[in-house]
Structure 1
Amino acid sequence: MSVSLVISAVIILFLVIVQTVVPYLVKRTVVFGVTIPEQYLRDTKLTQYKKQYSIFTIVVGLIALAAYIGWAANNQLTEEQIIIVGTFIEFGIIIISLSLYFYFHGKIKQLKQVNKWTENLKQVKVTDLSIRSQDEMLPWFVFLLPMIITIGLMIYTIMNYHLLPDLIPTHWGPTGEPDAFTAKTPFTAVQMPGMLLLMQIMFIFVHIGTKKSGIKLSATNALASKRRQLGMRKYSSWLLFFVSFAVTIMFSYFQLSTIHPNLFEGTSLQLIIPFGFLALVLIATIIFSIKVGRSDKEIEPIIEGDITDIDEDRYWKGGLWYFNKNDPSIFVEKRFGIGYTLNFANPLGYLIVLVPLVIILLVSFFLN
C-alpha cells in the first residue's frame, strides 16, 4: 500500500468520524446551529435528527473510503492520482455533511417556530465577574518560542546561503521527497521560514483575540457552561501552541535538509516527520474535541422558573456564520464543530486571519 493512499485514507477516516460525532460534541443547548431551550432538549425529534445525520454520514463515508482503497489497491496509479482522488473524496464528505447539516438546520428551525419553544420563556443573560480569574489559557508570550526558532532558522539560512542548491524546494510529497522547486535567490532561500513566521504571527494574534473574547454562560446550567467555556479556552490554547510548535519542527527539518542534504541521509526521518506531524495533530485534535465536547454533558441543569438563555439565532447566518456588531468578541464558540469561529462583524478578525493567509497564498502563487 502506497504512502499517499495511507495518508489519504487516514484523513478520510478522520473526517468521517469527526463529522459523525459532531452533533453530540457541540454545546448542549445548540442543535444543528439552532438554540434550543434546556426544557426541550429531550424532544424525540431532536434525538431522531441527530441519529439520522450520524448514521447517514458514517455509512456514506465508510462506503466511500472502502471504494477508494479498493480502487487504489487494484489499479496501477501514480502518487499524484491517488492524492487527487483522495482530496476529491475528502471534499465530497465535507459537502455531504454540510448538506445534511443545512437540511436538519432547517427542520429544527421550523420545529422550534411551530412549537413556539421560546414564546413563554424569559430570556436571561448570566455574568460571572470572577470567571476571568479562573481562565487557564496559556500566556501569549509562550507563542514566541516557535517564532524565535523560526527567526534563528532564517538567520542560519542567510549565513549558509552559499550551501543552498540552485533550485530551492518549495513543496514536499507524502514520502518527504521534494517535488517542486524554484530558482535560488535571497528571497526564495528564506521563503519557507518566512511563511512559517507569518503563520506563527497569525497564531499568536488568534490566541490573543480568543483570550480577549467574551465568556458566555448558560442561564439554565451555569456550572456546565462554565466548565465548557473554561475548558475550551484552556485546551484550545494548548492545541494551538502544539500545532504551531509541530509545524515549526516540520518546516525546520525541511529547511535544514535543503541546506545540508546529507545531514539526514540514511535515516527514515523524511518519512517519519510528515507522518508523525499528521498523526500527532489528528490525535491532539481528537483529544481536544472529546474533552471539550463532553465537558457540559455530565452536569444536569437546575432550571428555576420559566427562563432560557438569550436567543442569538438572528446573529447566526445558517447557524455557521456569526455577525453581531454589538459583540466586541473577535472569536466565538462554533455552533457546529468544536472550537472558535470569527465574529464576521468585527473587522479585526479579518486582519488577524485573512491578511497573513492572503500573503502566504500570493507568495506561493507567484514563486511556483
Structure 2
Amino acid sequence: MTLMIFLTIILFLAAIEISIPFLVKRDVVFGVSIPEGHIKDAKLASYKRRYSLSIFFISVASIAFYLLWINHDNPVEELIVLYGTAIQLGIIFLSMALYFYFHAKTMKRKKEQKWGENFKKVKMADLAIRSQDEMLPWYLFVLPMAVTVGLIAYTAVQYRILPEQIPFHWGADGMPDSFKAKNPFSVNVLPIILFIMQLLFLGINEATKRSGIKLSVANTEASRIRQLALRKYSSWFMFMTSTLITMLFSFLQLTTIHEGLVGSVVMFAVPFIFLLIILIGTAVFAIKVGTAGEHTETHPVEGISDFDDDLYWRAGIFYFNKNDPSIFVEKRFGVGWTINLANPIGYLIIFGPLVIIFLIAFLA
C-alpha cells in the first residue's frame, strides 16, 4: 500500500515536471519573456525538448531501480518511504538544476540575438475584462469553515467518550502512529489546523481576485482567454482542495471520537482516494490553464511588443516589483500563482497561517 502511494506521487510529479515547459505562457521560455516573432525559435524548442527528455529518462530509471530494489531486498516500510521520498526530492532537484541551466541559455540567446530591442515597449489594459472574471465569491469558502465549527462543537459534546490518547499523526496506511494525552486543546488540534488552512485558501482566493490582469499587446485574445482561465480554474481548484481537506480532516476527527467506526481498509482507502482526486485535479487544472488560448489566431502589431519585465523577475522565478500593487502574479515557470515579494501582504497571507499551524503542532 505504501509503495502504491509513493509510486503514484512519483509518477505524477515526473509527468508534471516533464510537461511544464509546454504549459507555461507561449511568450515565456524558462522564465524569460520572448517577443512574439521569436516564440517558435528552433533553439528554444530544443531547450524545452532537452529539459523534458532529461527528466523523463532519469525518472524512468529511478522508478525502475526503486522497483527492482524492493523486489530484491523486500525492505521494511520505513525504507520504502525514505527512498520514495528521496526519489521525489531528486526529481525536484533535477528539474530545478535543468531550469536554471536553460534559463541562463535562454537569457544569453535573447541578448545575443537582440530580440525586441528595436520595438516600442507597450503595456496593455482592458477595463472591461473584470466583468468576465469567473472567480468564486468569498462566501463559498466560508461554507467549509461552518463545517469545521460544527466539528469542534460536536467534539466538545463527545469529549467524555474520547480516548485518553488522541491520534496526532497518521501513517501511509491511514492508521494513527503518534498520540498525545487527552485534553481540551489536543482533541481540537485537527479542526483548529483545518480552520486555519481554510482561512489560507480564502485569503489566497481574495488576493488573486484583486491582482492585475495582464494582457499581451502581441496576442491580446489568447492572453485574455488564458488570464480568465487561470483565475477561474485556480479559484475552483482552491475551493475543491479546501472542501476535500475538510472532508478528510472531518473523517479523521470522527474516527478519533468513535473508535472502530470504520475498518483498516477504509482507513487506508479514504486518504488514498483524497490523494488521487487532488492529483487528478492538479493535472486537469494545469492542462486547462496551460492550453487556454493556444489555438487562437494571432494578429501581432508591427513595431511594438509587450513591456519586458524580466528585470522584476529574479532567475525568472521570484517576482519583486514595488510598482505593482498585485499580491499574486502568474508564475513564469509552472502553472498557477506566485507572490509579489515586494508586497508584504503576500507574506502575511501565506506565512502567517503556516507559522500558526507550526506553533499549534509544537504546543500540542
Normalised to the residue count of structure 1, the TM-score between the two structures is 0.97
When the two chains are superposed, the root-mean-square deviation of aligned CA atoms in Å is 1.0
1:310-350: CA deviation from partner (whole Å, max 9, x where unpaired): 11101111100100010010100000000001011100001
Q: Please, which of 268, 272, 293 is the counterpart of residue 275 of structure 1?
A: 272
Measure the CA separation in 2 of the matches of 1:217 and 1:176. Answer: 46
- Which consecutive unaligned segments of at least 5 residues does structure 1 have? none
- Which residues in structure 2 correspond to 1:131-142 (within 5 Å)? 131-142=129-140
Measure the CA separation in 2 of the matches of 1:327 and 1:172. Answer: 42
Shift of 1:162: 0.9
Measure the CA separation in 2 of the matches of 1:345 and 1:144. Answer: 29
Moved over 4 A (4+): none
Shift of 1:304: 1.6
Query: Is the CA contact 1:33–1:105 (under 8 Å) kept in the aligned structure 2?
Result: yes
Paired residue for 1:90?
A: 88
Shift of 1:253: 0.5
Shift of 1:74: 2.3
1:254-297: CA deviation from partner (whole Å, max 9, x where unpaired): 000000013224x7321221011000000011011111101132
Paired residue for 2:246?
A: 248
1:228-275: CA deviation from partner (whole Å, max 9, x where unpaired): 00011000000000000001101101000000013224x732122101
Query: Is the CA contact 1:168–1:189 (under 8 Å) kept in the aligned structure 2?
Result: yes
Q: Please, which of 8, 19, 22 is the counterpart of residue 21 of structure 1?
A: 19
Paired residue for 1:313?
A: 310
Measure the CA separation in 2 of the matches of 1:163 and 1:76. Answer: 41
Q: Please, which of 115, 119, 122 is the counterpart of residue 120 of structure 2?
A: 122
Measure the CA separation in 2 of the matches of 1:192 and 1:122. Answer: 55
Identity score, percent: 50
Measure the CA separation in 2 of the matches of 1:46 and 1:22. Answer: 14
Q: Please, which of 339, 342, 351 is the counterpart of residue 339 of structure 2?
A: 342
Paired residue for 1:110?
A: 108
- Which residues in structure 2 correspond to 1:1-80 (within 5 Å)? 3-80=1-78
Letter of the aligned partner of 2:338 in structure 1? T
Measure the CA separation in 2 of the matches of 1:119 and 1:58. Answer: 36
1:61-82: CA deviation from partner (whole Å, max 9, x where unpaired): 1111111122123223222221
1:114-133: CA deviation from partner (whole Å, max 9, x where unpaired): 11102101111111110000
Query: Is the CA contact 1:136–1:234 (under 8 Å) kept in the aligned structure 2?
Result: yes
Shift of 1:363: 2.1
2:185 match: secondary structure: helix
1:36-75: CA deviation from partner (whole Å, max 9, x where unpaired): 0001111110001001001111110111111112212322
2:177 match: secondary structure: strand
Shift of 1:308: 1.1
Paired residue for 2:150?
A: 152
1:168 match: secondary structure: strand
Q: Please, which of 209, 219, 230 is the counterpart of residue 207 of structure 2?
A: 209
Measure the CA separation in 1 of the matches of 2:233 and 2:91. Answer: 27
Letter of the aligned partner of 2:120 in structure 1? K
Measure the CA separation in 1 of the matches of 2:142 and 2:75. Answer: 43
Measure the CA separation in 2 of the matches of 1:96 and 1:283. Answer: 23
Letter of the aligned partner of 2:52 in structure 1? S
Letter of the aligned partner of 1:239 in structure 2? F
Paired residue for 1:194?
A: 192
Measure the CA separation in 1 of the matches of 2:303 and 2:14. Answer: 39
Query: Is the CA contact 1:5–1:72 (under 8 Å) kept in the aligned structure 2?
Result: no
Paired residue for 1:363?
A: 360
Shift of 1:154: 0.7
Letter of the aligned partner of 1:58 in structure 2? F
Shift of 1:366: 3.9
1:23-48: CA deviation from partner (whole Å, max 9, x where unpaired): 00001100000000001111110001
Letter of the aligned partner of 1:191 in structure 2? V
2:73 match: secondary structure: coil
Letter of the aligned partner of 1:24 in structure 2? F
Paired residue for 1:288?
A: 285
- Which consecutive unaligned segments of at least 5 residues does structure 2 have? none
